Structure 1
Amino acid sequence: MSQAVSFSASPSVPYHPEKVNQLTHGLGFALTVPAAICAIIAASSSCDTVGFWGCVVFGITMMGVYGASTLSHSFDDKPAVKDLWRVLDQVAIYAFIAGCFTPFALTYARHPFGITALVLMWVMCLAGMARRILRRGKPLNSLDIAFSVTAGWIPVVTLLDMITAGGAIGLTLVFTGALAYLVGIYFLMNDHRSPYWHAVWHLCTMTGTACHYAFLMLFIIC
C-alpha cells in the first residue's frame, strides 16, 4: 500500500526515494511475471481443474499487485495518474491477500470449513477494496491495517491442512512469509520517518511473496 509521503533527493538522501520505491517493486514485478507463468504451466499438468484455476488466481493477483505498486510510484509529473495507480495498488493488495490462499484452499482445504474460510477471506478483501476506493486520497489508518491483517490471517484456521500438505518445511515457509509481511507493515506505517522505509516495506513484501510462492510450487503444485 502506498502512503502519500514525499521526500526529495538531498546530500543526506542521495537517491530519490520514489525512484528507489519504483525500482524495488519494479524488480518484484519483473520476477513475478516468469514466476506466475511457470506456476500456471506447472499447475496445468499437476493440478485438477479447480486447483489449476486457483493457481491462475494466485499468479494474476501476484503480478497485479507488483505492477500496480510500481506504477503507483511513477508519474511524479502527473499527480492524477499517480493517485489513480495508488488506489489500484491498494485494491490489488487486497486481491493478492485472498489470491495467496485461493490455490491452497482449492486443493488441500477443499472441504466445507476450508471453503468457508476462503469465501470469508474474499468477502473481507472485497470490502477492503471498496473501503479504499471510497477513501481514495486519504492515508492509511489503523483500521485499514487491522482489516488487511485480519483477512490475511484467516488461513490459520486450516493449519492442520497446511501441516498435511507441507509438514515442518511448508509451515515454516508459510509463517516466515506472514512474519515478513507483518514486519513490513511497521515500515509502511512509519515511512514518514525515513525516506527509504517505504522501500524496506517493499523488500519485506517481496520476501513474504517468495516464501508463499515457494510453498505453492513445492507443496501445492509439486
Structure 2
Amino acid sequence: TVDLSNNRIGFDGSKAIADAMVQRKLEGRSDMQVNMDGNLVFQEVMNCVTHGLGIILCIIGTTLLNARVQNQPASMVKLVSCRVYSASLLTLYTSSVLFHSFFALQKTRRIFAIIDKCAIYILIAGSYTPYLQISLQHKPL
C-alpha cells in the first residue's frame, strides 16, 4: 500500500494517479493499493461552503414555511409536516458540512461518512412525511 494521503496533490494529480492505476491493471500487472484521502482540499472546502449555505437557506426556508402554514386549516398537521421536513433537511446539510470538514482526518471522516449516508435516508423519509401526512389525513390506513 502506498500512502499518498494529505499531500495536496489536487484533482489533476489524483486523477493522474487513478488513471495510472487503471492502466497498470489493464497491462496485467499486480494490483497496488494507493491511499489518496485528503488530497482534494479545494473541492472539500467548496463542498463545506455550499452545504453551509444550504444550512443558512434551510433555516430561512423553515422560518418562511412555518409562517405560511401557521394560520391555515389543519395547521397543526401541516406545521408538524413542515418541521419534520425542515429538520431532516437541516440534518442532511449539517452532517454533510461535518463530513467534508474533516477530510484530512481519516477515522473521523469514516464516522461522518456513515452519518452523512444515514442523513440521506432521513431526508428521504422527511420528504415523504409531509406528503403522506397531509394527503392521507382523512384516510385512515
TM-score per shorter chain, which class? 0.5 to 0.7
Shift of 1:95: 0.8
Q: Which residue of structure 2 aligns with residue 193 of structure 1?
A: none
Q: Which residue of structure 2 aligns with residue 44 of structure 1?
A: 70
Match of 2:92 among 58, 62, 65: 65
Name the amino acid aligned to 1:90: K
1:59, 1:71 → 2: CA distance? 18
Q: Which residue of structure 1 aligns with residue 56 of structure 2?
A: 30
In the alignment, structure 1 segments of 5+ residues that lack a partner are 1-5, 117-222
Aligned length, in residue pairs: 109
2:93, 2:108 → 1: CA distance? 17
TM-score normalised to the size of structure 1? 0.42
In the alignment, structure 2 segments of 5+ residues that lack a partner are 1-5, 15-39
TM-score normalised to the size of structure 2? 0.63
Structure with the higher helix share, 1 or 2: 1
> What CA RMSD, in Å, does the superposition of the two structures yield over aligned residues?
2.8
Q: Which runs of 4+ in 1 moved over 4 A?
A: 10-15
Name the amino acid aligned to 2:47: N
Q: 1:97 to 1:10 in 2, by over 3 A?
A: closer
Q: Which residue of structure 2 aligns with residue 195 of structure 1?
A: none
- Could you tell me whether the CA contact under 8 Å between 1:21 and 1:73 is conserved in 2? yes
Does residue 75 of the first structure (1) align with residue 102 of the second (2)? yes
Q: Which residue of structure 2 aligns with residue 9 of structure 1?
A: 10
Please identify the structure whose Cα radius of gyration is greater. 2
- Could you tell me whether the CA contact under 8 Å between 1:39 and 1:59 is conserved in 2? no
Shift of 1:61: 0.4
